[in-house]
Structure 1
């Protein structure tokens, strides 16, 4: 059987600018020859990344600030037991996970500027209300509602960015966006230490002011986001008509065939549910996401138990998060450049595992603090790299929105585990917590290896022509054996009908 090599203008992610401009599937009558690609991408970066990163900084700050507030007598003032405190952490993850997939579908059907602003405004309200609660049940209810409204931001923005950038460009943008979580960790410690000086003002304790002031900042940001957040490429108002056409065409040249528009069909959701990549991606992501929440929620307490009081413990988290930010952005850049996302996952998860082995085995404060830096390598860069890896290998705008929602949702369900494993009775060394985090990292390594192997095998099958379709206007494909992979009138029909199952589509390993 003759092997068919896909045309570089439709399947090569490194297609030239000229080839991109020549491909006029979207608004064919518009001349984009005058568009400067480099200037356009810089314009898009400035319009999207800074504000979205700031929103995620606020999101992560709001969900994890309870760890800082705990150091300022939160449990004592609300008459909570340690188990009740852990439950307030846990309930957030359930509502957060439940609403992620539906939120991504709403984001696609509505405008991002409207949906994301709505979510942000109301989670800011819930954050603020945490500062006026008087007992444990009230705090529990606010944490549920906080998780419900925050659910849409992280999976929504990652999906939204994937609709703007080529597969080889998405990783560094996702890493910069996610690095806001590391900045929030550093900023959160500094902010909590500063706000603690308001103890007693207005008759409220320091922990209440942490919630109130951080929540009000989020409310304001949510209100102005409506005018700052841009919509999808085909309707973005900050781009000219020629620039919008250029963006869509370059995405189509990168095998994102749905970039020009796609009507909602239930089959896209079913395709995501049936796709093996979705399910393995869920396990890969959980291998880093449970450790992420364990790390961010309990790092101040871990350092506190190493012999440092509340404010110094919060301040000592700052250099850890700065290091995590640098590593995250570095991995995002190199993974985009080299395209070996699976290998980065495996390597850095192993470094993180070594850090947790030290935390389990060591009872030396200085050595344990050093191990915390190693632990960040197996957590923070893996989150955006895993999301990029899954996104790179799913085509179809609705299918990708559901797949990313499921992957991130499953990871966050496992975040509920993280909030129950660092028990007060296990301090100061927390062997159970460190041991379970180490187990999750090991699961992440195994799942990453499986994902990598299966993707390489599938690419090899496509190279051998085993997935070729029968294309009616391409005589070289008229082999009866190809009909088992589908019969289509044109190549474009095959691409749009099959998405990432099309024989010319190559998975990112």
Structure 2
């Protein structure tokens, strides 16, 4: 029987996988590839490098947090509020270049583009060790934001290219764990360098300089490995022909496609006109105001509780443990029970409690203040759930790329606002900043509930209308979730 798929002749209009599957029979009839075994191989090929990219992306941008208690502020004669302005410089450049990165990610091979950016920011990081004044630090932070802005959208897109929708949340959690393991590793390394400096006071290099150089070199090596070994998509991987077909066919049920290199203005406009886009954007902004503040100021907050630099570096470790558990439980729960909204609320609530403890406990209650600081680290675990929400609910490659850019730009806005709530005039308690944590996260919970309501209402409408006849292989025709009325949204 003739189908609409037979009249599609312009390769730009369909998904990259369309012609790979068009002439294939059912997977079970053409191959003996074991899907579970293939999934394990995909995990081994992708997850270690994806984890390292995000581990380094988070570690490299927050090294300045540890360098601040290792002498960076004094050695560079940093002005008042200069530390806050460094965080803003990073996120402003990140924000400005995110749309450019999104465009490049659609036009160029994703893994190759990611690898090139990783190498570039590794070089920038190495250059921090020779910065002797404040101005070069600002320039380097701007460049770091430019190159690191490629990381999250690249990893988000690669996750949707390889995994089923119910698998994506947990896999996003795997590579996102770099944000929790990164601070633990950085704290221990920084602690070692501080002790080394104390035993070698005449050393030419300061401990914070060695820290930047070490991470910069590791980042460059990782970028080279990404260029060499991370596949751009299933069709261009080093798997066998049958394995490639299975890797593609198993994603048919997603109805979100794999990749399309042609930018479609209609999909771009559809993304901007979708109310869910801006609700999700506001959720990301509101959850990243406290996240940006805590990630940039955690060491300074702890130090202001009355601890020395050695104690401060070690007392950062429980924060990493809290973040690790939050990401693990949050992504597991959301993926298993299709409950991203509920999981986000569950992760935001401890941070609200933590912000309240830090704001209103007396200054001499160090234990309570520390617990409050640790609890604020759960909010960061909400971001991978929002990443996976995009991958699961936005179909059409241009629409996915555009939504990734909007969410990452929203992430930047939150992280620009966050450090600004920590003004020098409110030191050392920073009470206004801690009250802000409570206020904006309360708004985030209301927005999550609204988004869940809209998703449930739309799915009910589509269920009542019933399934629509579609052409063969429509799952790989790069249709948007709005164009494909058989598409159902995940919570």
TM superposition score normalised by structure 1: 0.86
Contact 1:285–1:387 (CA under 8 A) maintained in structure 2: no
The match for 1:310 is 309
The match for 2:275 is 276
The match for 2:120 is 122
Q: Which runs of 5+ in 1 are unaligned?
A: 1-23, 472-488
Instruction: Within 5 Å, give how 1:174-323 maps onto structure 2.
Output: 174-199=172-197, 203-237=204-238, 239-256=239-256, 258-259=257-258, 263-323=262-322
Contact 2:86–2:137 (CA under 8 A) maintained in structure 1: yes
Judged with a 3 Å threshold, the aligned counterparts in structure 2 of structure 1 residues 227 and 497 are, in CA distance, closer, same or farther, namely closer
Contact 2:187–2:313 (CA under 8 A) maintained in structure 1: yes
The match for 1:11 is none
The match for 1:14 is none
Judged with a 3 Å threshold, the aligned counterparts in structure 2 of structure 1 residues 454 and 145 are, in CA distance, closer, same or farther, namely same
State whether structure 2 residue 36 is matched by structure 1 residue 54: no
Cα separation, 2, equivalents of 1:142 and 1:358: 36
Contact 2:98–2:405 (CA under 8 A) maintained in structure 1: yes
The match for 1:77 is 75
For residues 113-164 of structure 1, give each alpha carbon's deviation from its aligned partner in whole angstroms, at most 9, with x where no partner exists. 3111110111011111111112111111111001001110112111211111
Shift of 1:351: 2.6
Judged with a 3 Å threshold, the aligned counterparts in structure 2 of structure 1 residues 303 and 26 are, in CA distance, closer, same or farther, namely farther
The match for 2:143 is 145
Contact 1:32–1:243 (CA under 8 A) maintained in structure 2: no
Contact 1:234–1:260 (CA under 8 A) maintained in structure 2: no
Contact 1:185–1:296 (CA under 8 A) maintained in structure 2: no
Judged with a 3 Å threshold, the aligned counterparts in structure 2 of structure 1 residues 113 and 403 are, in CA distance, closer, same or farther, namely same
The match for 2:421 is 421
State whether structure 2 residue 433 is matched by structure 1 residue 433: yes
Cα separation, 2, equivalents of 1:294 and 1:232: 36
The match for 1:395 is 395
Shift of 1:61: 0.9
State whether structure 2 residue 134 is matched by structure 1 residue 136: yes
Shift of 1:60: 0.9
Cα separation, 2, equivalents of 1:259 and 1:497: 8
The match for 1:105 is 103
Shift of 1:386: 1.5
The match for 1:339 is 338
State whether structure 2 residue 484 is matched by structure 1 residue 500: no
Cα separation, 1, equivalents of 2:443 and 2:23: 46
Shift of 1:235: 1.3
For residues 262-295 of structure 1, give each alpha carbon's deviation from its aligned partner in whole angstroms, at most 9, with x where no partner exists. 6433323222222222211111222222222211
Shift of 1:34: 0.4
Shift of 1:404: 1.4
Shift of 1:201: 6.2
Shift of 1:39: 0.4
Q: What SS does the corresponding residue of 2:81 show, helix, strand or coil?
A: helix
Q: What SS does the corresponding residue of 2:70 show, helix, strand or coil?
A: coil
Q: Which runs of 5+ in 2 are unaligned?
A: 1-19
For residues 20-73 of structure 1, give each alpha carbon's deviation from its aligned partner in whole angstroms, at most 9, with x where no partner exists. xxxx94441575430111100010011101121112111111101101111122
Cα separation, 1, equivalents of 2:22 and 2:406: 30
For residues 372-426 of structure 1, give each alpha carbon's deviation from its aligned partner in whole angstroms, at most 9, with x where no partner exists. 232222x122111111122211111221122112112211122011222223432
Cα separation, 2, equivalents of 1:111 and 1:495: 19
Cα separation, 2, equivalents of 1:504 and 1:157: 27
Cα separation, 1, equivalents of 2:190 and 2:453: 45
The match for 1:6 is none
Judged with a 3 Å threshold, the aligned counterparts in structure 2 of structure 1 residues 201 and 255 are, in CA distance, closer, same or farther, namely farther
Cα separation, 1, equivalents of 2:296 and 2:169: 26
Cα separation, 2, equivalents of 1:424 and 1:83: 6
Cα separation, 2, equivalents of 1:341 and 1:366: 32
Cα separation, 2, equivalents of 1:492 and 1:262: 19
For residues 340-387 of structure 1, give each alpha carbon's deviation from its aligned partner in whole angstroms, at most 9, with x where no partner exists. 11111122212321221112111221011112232222x122111111
The match for 1:367 is 368
The match for 1:480 is none
Judged with a 3 Å threshold, the aligned counterparts in structure 2 of structure 1 residues 224 and 355 are, in CA distance, closer, same or farther, namely same
Q: What SS does the corresponding residue of 2:316 show, helix, strand or coil?
A: helix
Contact 1:259–1:397 (CA under 8 A) maintained in structure 2: yes
The match for 2:32 is 34
Shift of 1:217: 1.8
TM superposition score normalised by structure 2: 0.89
Shift of 1:323: 2.3
- CA RMSD of the aligned region, Å? 2.1
The match for 2:453 is 453
Cα separation, 2, equivalents of 1:162 and 1:195: 40
